[in-house]
């Protein structure tokens, strides 16, 4: 029996000897490497926090003390130590453990959001609540990476925490010098006088001498640490930054020395007010394949980079071509250069790409500034993270009618990252933005086409949204309807029963639906709107020729493309009924993309069934039954 198998909760850690803790750390690393390579997930970040998480659970009393993981992608070790080791093999699988903290899984988990830079704000609020409730002995522990610390919210929270002298908050800065890529330390460059902290030098020396003895990792690791060094000095220089803010600073601590970590954590816990503990870790520690991975230390496996054949890569290739033609086109990423497909553009045009850190709000307003200055920025961002910058998109970009193109990768169902990562909001929130135009390409050719159209728009913002993963086959239009592509007309002998408009890849799903409906004698016209905002008025005219209009989208049903189609028909006094199919407006759990789409009733088979029923009801003159009021996306038996 392994030591890990004997750990059913943090209590079981407390009696272990230092030797046993070292053995346990090794076992945890083995489990992480074996499991995550099989299930997918965040590997490098978790390998880096093994000793840190053990030490936290030995020093603090969870769940009475609350532990908040910033972003939460580094909470696997915590899961293993809080009674979930046996279930760990189900990580990120449908019905299995989630890839982030989950209150449903454990009383030790609290924050599930997975959007970065929030932990210090949660900690601020929790500590205030404990004080108000007369529970002054409870401590809040926030673990925040140096990447997440580049987000504005973290600094807004620090500003408040510094003033909350009685708040028992231990802020652990897990400084590995990386977010997806080496963390950018722009803040720091404003610091004129940089002093060298001797204890920090000591840590570097320690890591240099111990790690450079390891045959494979030595030199590159030291090189990386040297890179980190500047960041630490600049951004996290205690005297300059945190102590001037009025925060108690402890560190820097070697984050792989469990005993030293415990000592520091005890001191921080017993201080009785906010303390910032600066811990230096190595992303991917103990696994050469991760430590040596130059792109992102195996931040995620499989890598989130833009592999050939993915939507992200198609976008990246076209950006490269546009970059060659248009010297005014610049690219912005919020710490996700490789995953968003911008790496090639960055290599070719290093002066025209800006990695702003995990700072989506700033990214968007900075894009507004670039546009005001005569450039055409392309902000490449995951769909779910644009939520962060809604106000900036609305008021800083759209209000000024600025030509900024938002390229929203991972739009729609994303899969194993679960509720906080599904990109199911932008199709609705962007519909609210005056002057915004939204493109949804159905295939690779349309990504190129629509991206080019988007960067030609000079009087307002544009969105190009596409999903995660591999791009499917290409389908050419057989006719045009206004600006839309007609992909299919009813086969001979069948009437114009249904006009089906499928947004983005849902247009291709629509073709499969049409095949199935033809087998039932129902004639379907399938159109790809290409632009889902504004909806082409030609759709209203085409609707008059059909008995039922169907809109399908990979986005929340509320306020998305389907609602925009229904509104267009109302505005044009078209009385043809409309059925809208999209994701239920709920926080959808993790699973593969196909599993989640099936759960939402969006497979061709499920859609065909619902549409057949709707046509049949209308043909028989039957009033819509009560089911009609239920979400349309539910699969029917
Ligand atoms: C608002 C937001 N933007 C982007 C991301 C994507 N993301 C997940 S982890 C990560 C890097 C985090 O770096 P850091 O906080 O230093 O943690 P590490 O992985 O290095 O331990 C990024 C950019 C996110 N989760 N939230």
Of 455, 341, 441, 445, which is closest to residue 406 (Cα–Cα)? 455
- How confident is the model at residue 245, as a pLDDT? 80
- How confident is the model at residue 183, as a pLDDT? 84
Does the pLDDT value for residue 578 go beyond 60?
A: yes
370-386 burial string, b = 16+ CB within 10 Å, else e?
bbeeebbbbbbbbbbbb
- How confident is the model at residue 352, as a pLDDT? 98
Could you tell me the pTM of the whole model?
0.90
Per the document, the length of the chain is 637
Gap between the Cα atoms of 104 and 272, Å rounded: 31
What three-state secondary structure class fits 353? strand
Instruction: Tell me how far the alpha carbon of residue 187 lies from the centroid of ligand 1, in angstroms.
Output: 18
502-524 pLDDT per residue, tens: 999 999 999 999 999 999 999 99
Does the pLDDT value for residue 196 go beyond 70?
A: no
409-428: average pLDDT: 96
- How confident is the model at residue 305, as a pLDDT? 81
Residue partners of 504: CB distance under 8 A and separation at least 6? 411, 412, 440, 441, 442, 465, 466, 467, 532, 553, 554
Of 147-151, 158-162, 615-619, least confident by mean pLDDT is 615-619
Q: Is 174 in the pocket of ligand 1 (CB under 6 A)?
A: yes
Gap between the Cα atoms of 231 and 211, Å rounded: 20
- Measured at the alpha carbon of residue 334, what is the angle toward residues 333 and 335, in degrees to the nearest 5? 100
Contact between 291 and 446 under an 8 Å Cβ cutoff? The reply is no
Q: Is 145 in the pocket of ligand 1 (CB under 6 A)?
A: yes
Q: Is 338 in the pocket of ligand 1 (CB under 6 A)?
A: no
Could you tell me which residue, 39 or 304, shows the higher pLDDT? 39
What three-state secondary structure class fits 174? strand
Q: Is 76 in the pocket of ligand 1 (CB under 6 A)?
A: no
Instruction: Tell me how far the alpha carbon of residue 519 lies from the centroid of ligand 1, in angstroms.
Output: 48
Contact between 609 and 437 under an 8 Å Cβ cutoff? The reply is no
- Whole-number mean pLDDT of the chain? 90
517-539 burial string, b = 16+ CB within 10 Å, else e?
bbeeebbbbbbbbbbbbebbeeb
| Six-digit token string for 113 | 């959001």
- The closest-lying atom of ligand 1 relative to the alpha carbon of residue 116 is 26
Instruction: Tell me how far the alpha carbon of residue 157 lies from the centroid of ligand 1, in angstroms.
Output: 18
Confidence of residue 618 (pLDDT cuts 50, 70, 90): confident
Rounded to 10°, the helix 152-161/119-132 angle is 30
Q: Is 72 in the pocket of ligand 1 (CB under 6 A)?
A: no
Q: Which whole-number Å values give the CA distances from 544 to 57, 523, 527, 537, 548, in the listed order?
A: 65, 15, 15, 12, 9
- The closest-lying atom of ligand 1 relative to the alpha carbon of residue 281 is 21
Confidence of residue 203 (pLDDT cuts 50, 70, 90): low
Q: Is 437 in the pocket of ligand 1 (CB under 6 A)?
A: no
417-444: average pLDDT: 97
- The closest-lying atom of ligand 1 relative to the alpha carbon of residue 42 is 19
Could you tell me which residue, 586 or 181, shows the higher pLDDT? 586
Nearest CA to ligand 1 atom 19: 45
Nearest CA to ligand 1 atom 21: 45
The pick from 48, 53, 78, 148 for probing ligand 1's pocket by mutation, whose C-beta has the most ligand atoms within 8 angstroms, reads 148
Q: Catalytic residue numbers?
A: 283, 360, 388
Instruction: Tell me how far the alpha carbon of residue 163 lies from the centroid of ligand 1, in angstroms.
Output: 27
The pick from 41, 46, 120, 147 for probing ligand 1's pocket by mutation, whose C-beta has the most ligand atoms within 8 angstroms, reads 147
Residue owning tokens 């933005």: 433
Instruction: Tell me how far the alpha carbon of residue 386 lies from the centroid of ligand 1, in angstroms.
Output: 14
Q: Is 158 in the pocket of ligand 1 (CB under 6 A)?
A: no
């Amino acid at each position: 029996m392994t030591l890990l198998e004997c750990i059913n909760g943090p209590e079981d850690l407390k009696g272990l000897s230092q030797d046993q803790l070292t053995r346990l750390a090794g076992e945890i690393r083995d489990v992480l490497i074996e499991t995550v390579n099989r299930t997918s997930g965040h590997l490098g970040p978790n390998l880096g926090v093994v000793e840190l998480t053990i030490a936290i659970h030995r020093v603090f009393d969870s769940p009475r003390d609350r532990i908040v993981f910033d972003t939460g992608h580094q909470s696997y070790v915590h899961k293993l130590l809080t009674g979930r080791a046996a279930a760990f093999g189900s990580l990120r699988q449908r019905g299995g453990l989630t890839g982030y903290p989950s209150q449903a899984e454990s009383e030790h988990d609290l924050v599930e959001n997975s959007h970065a830079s929030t932990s210090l704000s949660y900690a601020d609020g929790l500590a205030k609540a404990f004080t108000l409730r007369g529970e002054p002995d409870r401590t809040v522990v926030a673990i925040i990476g140096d990447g997440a610390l580049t987000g504005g919210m973290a600094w807004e929270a620090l500003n408040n925490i510094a003033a909350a002298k009685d708040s028992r908050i231990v802020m652990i800065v897990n400084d590995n010098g990386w977010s997806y890529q080496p963390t950018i330390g722009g803040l720091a460059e404003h610091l004129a006088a940089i002093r060298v902290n001797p204890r920090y030098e000591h840590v570097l020396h320690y890591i240099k001498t111990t790690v450079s003895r390891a045959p494979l990792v030595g030199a590159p690791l030291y090189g990386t640490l040297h890179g980190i060094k500047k960041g630490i000095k600049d951004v996290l220089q205690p005297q300059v930054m945190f102590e001037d803010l009025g925060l108690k600073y402890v560190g820097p601590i070697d984050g792989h020395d469990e005993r030293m970590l415990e000592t520091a954590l005890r001191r921080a816990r017993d201080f009785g007010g906010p303390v910032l503990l600066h811990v230096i870790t190595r992303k991917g520690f103990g696994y050469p394949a991760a430590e040596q991975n130059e792109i992102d230390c195996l931040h995620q496996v499989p890598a989130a980079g833009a592999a050939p054949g993915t939507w992200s890569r198609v976008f990246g290739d076209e950006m490269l071509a546009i970059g060659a033609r248009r010297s005014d086109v610049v690219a912005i990423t919020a710490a996700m250069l490789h995953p968003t497909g911008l790496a090639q553009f960055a290599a070719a045009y290093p002066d025209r790409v800006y990695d702003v850190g995990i700072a989506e709000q700033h990214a968007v307003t900075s894009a507004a500034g670039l546009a005001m200055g005569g450039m055409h920025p392309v902000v490449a961002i995951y769909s779910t993270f644009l939520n962060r910058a809604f106000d900036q998109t609305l008021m800083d970009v759209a209000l000024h009618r600025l030509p900024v193109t938002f390229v929203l990768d991972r739009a729609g169902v994303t899969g194993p990252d679960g509720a906080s990562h599904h990109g199911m909001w932008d199709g609705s929130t962007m519909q609210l933005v005056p002057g915004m135009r939204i493109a949804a390409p159905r295939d690779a050719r349309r990504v190129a086409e629509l991206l080019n159209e988007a960067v030609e728009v000079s009087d307002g913002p544009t969105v190009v949204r596409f999903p995660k993963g591999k791009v499917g086959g290409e389908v050419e239009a057989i006719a045009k309807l206004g600006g839309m592509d007609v992909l299919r007309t009813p086969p001979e002998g069948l009437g114009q029963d249904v006009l089906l408009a499928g947004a983005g890849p849902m247009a291709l799903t629509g073709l499969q639906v049409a095949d199935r409906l033809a087998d039932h004698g129902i004639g379907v016209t399938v159109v790809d709107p290409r632009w889902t905002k504004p909806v082409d008025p030609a759709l209203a005219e085409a609707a008059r020729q059909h008995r039922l209009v169907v809109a399908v989208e990979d986005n929340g049903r509320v306020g998305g493309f389907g609602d925009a189609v229904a509104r267009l028909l109302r505005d044009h006094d078209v009385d043809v009924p409309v059925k809208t199919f999209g994701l239920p407006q709920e926080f959808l759990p993790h699973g593969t993309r196909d599993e989640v789409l099936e759960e939402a009733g969006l497979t061709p088979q499920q859609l065909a069934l619902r549409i057949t029923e709707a046509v049949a009801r209308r043909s028989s003159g039957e009033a819509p039954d009560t089911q009609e009021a239920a979400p349309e996306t539910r699969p029917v038996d």
